[in-house]
């Protein structure tokens, strides 16, 4: 049966303007870093994507290396674009990135013009798209001149292969330099995608201020710290969780007794607010107007719905914020 999007999808979501641009993003966006690769179940991720759009999630975030295996998330998304979402292309914001290892040899990694151009061409082919809405440089390259990388992002927009460009994982000072170059070239940086959560707050040491000053949006990835800020780890590492999987980025050794104590205390605060720990963690990020959207992963449609419910309770009292700071200190 062919997919028809919910008629009430835009009543289900709140949108926020991305920096100083004309673009609005849903306050919760769907990331395809995990759960959409060749090792995952087609019907599960199809259901998740359909549910996302039915709830007004218009932004799907990918990268060349998402899977596993690398490239498979884009291929799978391309198949679903063709089957389900082709009639809705103009209602969607689709992003991809390049910057991590993608193929063998000197041209399959980092930030050269050669790599970025080839990678975006491959991504478009995998997804069956004429253009992406946002193309990111995925991480800083210590060896390629910053101007070369930024000039390539500008080229992508001029060629019509991307509408906007962004940065990911850039520290504050380097991000400011990159944004200045992009402004001079005439393709301003739309958005920055940093790792940011209640337990990982490096962006507060300057980056968020840079983004506000430059009028650039912010879309944190790993807002639940790879699942740590959920009920899943309240009693240690369960079988089948992300920390228990060999191909994951979250390792068992990251989960210290001290961290588990903090998570349990945060869980208690969330319960008093009438939220799950995950919902409070997302709301806590979105309380800052500089954060345009949070990028959530989801292994099922139900898990995504639980994340979306964070939007029902975004306000924090002064006392709640003080208690949270005390726990995280």
- For residue 31, the domain's CATH number is 3.20.20.100
The residue that leads in pLDDT, 251 or 224, is 224
At 86 the pLDDT is 98
- Per-residue burial over 157-187, b if 16 or more Cβ lie within 10 Å, else e, is beeebbbbbbbbbbebebbbebbebbeebeb
Q: Can you spell out the DSSP letters for 45-82?
A: HHHHHHHHHHTT--EEE--TT-TTTTTHHHHHHHHHII
Could you tell me which of 123, 79, 122, 90 has the C-alpha nearest to residue 5? Answer: 90
C-alpha angle 5-92-185 in degrees, rounded to nearest 5: 175
The residue that leads in pLDDT, 249 or 213, is 213
Three-state DSSP class for residue 171: coil
- Per-residue burial over 137-152, b if 16 or more Cβ lie within 10 Å, else e, is bbbbbeebebeebbeb
The rounded radius of gyration (Å) of the Cα atoms in the chain is 19
Specify if 268 maps to a domain.
no
Average pLDDT value for residue range 303-309: 98
Specify if 202 maps to a domain.
yes
At 239 the pLDDT is 66
Distance CA 38, CA 42 (A): 9
At 251 the pLDDT is 62
Q: What pLDDT digit, counting tens, does each position of 57-86 carry?
A: 999 999 999 999 999 999 999 999 999 999
Report the 10 Å Cβ neighbour count for 265.
Answer: 15
Among 183-187, 254-258, 298-302, the range scoring the smallest mean pLDDT is: 254-258
At 33 the pLDDT is 97
Kindly state the DSSP code that residue 304 receives in the 8-state scheme.
H
Residue with tokens 């009543």: 11
Specify if 265 maps to a domain.
no
At 232 the pLDDT is 85
At 1 the pLDDT is 73
Distance CA 273, CA 271 (A): 5
Burial classification of residue 319, based on how many CB atoms lie within 10 Å of its CB (0-12 exposed, 13-18 middle, 19 or more buried): exposed
Q: What pLDDT digit, counting tens, does each position of 130-185 carry?
A: 999 999 999 999 999 999 999 999 999 999 999 999 999 999 999 999 999 999 99
Specify if 305 maps to a domain.
no
Could you tell me which of 156, 169, 55 has the C-alpha nearest to residue 115? Answer: 156
Q: What pLDDT digit, counting tens, does each position of 200-245 carry?
A: 999 999 999 999 999 999 999 999 999 999 998 887 666 666 555 5
Three-state DSSP class for residue 116: helix
Distance CA 295, CA 128 (A): 23
Distance CA 139, CA 109 (A): 10
Specify if 108 maps to a domain.
yes
User: How many structural domains does the chain have?
Assistant: 1
Burial classification of residue 256, based on how many CB atoms lie within 10 Å of its CB (0-12 exposed, 13-18 middle, 19 or more buried): exposed
Average pLDDT value for residue range 289-306: 97
Percent of the chain with pLDDT over 70: 95
Average pLDDT, the chain: 95
Could you tell me which of 124, 154, 151, 149 has the C-alpha nearest to residue 137? Answer: 149
Domain encompassing residue 56: 9-233+288-299
At 24 the pLDDT is 98
Specify if 182 maps to a domain.
yes
């Amino acid at each position: 049966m062919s997919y028809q999007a919910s008629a009430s999808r835009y009543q289900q979501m709140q949108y926020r303007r991305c920096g100083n641009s004309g673009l609005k993003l849903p306050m919760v966006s769907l990331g395809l870093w995990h759960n959409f690769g060749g090792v995952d179940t087609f019907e599960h991720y199809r259901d998740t994507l359909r549910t996302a759009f039915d709830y007004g999630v218009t932004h799907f975030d990918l990268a060349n290396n998402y899977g596993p295996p690398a490239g498979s998330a884009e291929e799978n998304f391309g198949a679903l674009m063709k089957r389900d979402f082709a009639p809705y292309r103009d209602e969607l914001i689709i992003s991809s990135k390049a910057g991590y290892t993608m193929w063998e040899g000197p041209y399959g990694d980092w930030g050269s013009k050669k790599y970025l151009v080839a990678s975006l061409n491959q991504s478009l082919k995998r997804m069956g798209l004429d253009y992406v809405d946002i193309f990111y440089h995925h991480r800083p390259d210590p060896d390629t001149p910053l101007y070369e990388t930024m000039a390539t992002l500008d080229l992508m927009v001029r060629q019509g292969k991307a509408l906007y460009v962004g940065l990911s994982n850039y520290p504050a000072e380097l991000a400011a330099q990159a944004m200045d170059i992009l402004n001079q070239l005439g393709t301003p940086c739309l958005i920055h995608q940093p790792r940011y959560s209640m337990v990982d707050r490096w962006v507060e040491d300057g980056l968020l201020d840079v983004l506000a000053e430059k009028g650039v949006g912010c879309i944190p990835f790993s807002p639940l710290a790879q699942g740590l800020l959920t009920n899943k780890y309240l009693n240690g590492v369960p079988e089948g969780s992300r920390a228990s999987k060999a191909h994951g980025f979250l390792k068992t050794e990251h989960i210290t007794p001290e961290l588990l104590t903090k998570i349990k205390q945060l869980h208690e605060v969330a319960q008093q607010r009438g939220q799950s720990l995950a919902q409070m963690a997302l709301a806590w990020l979105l309380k800052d107007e500089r954060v345009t959207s949070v990028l959530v992963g989801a292994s099922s449609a139900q898990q995504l719905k639980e994340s979306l419910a964070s939007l029902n309770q975004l306000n924090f009292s002064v006392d709640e914020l003080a208690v949270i700071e005390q726990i995280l200190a």
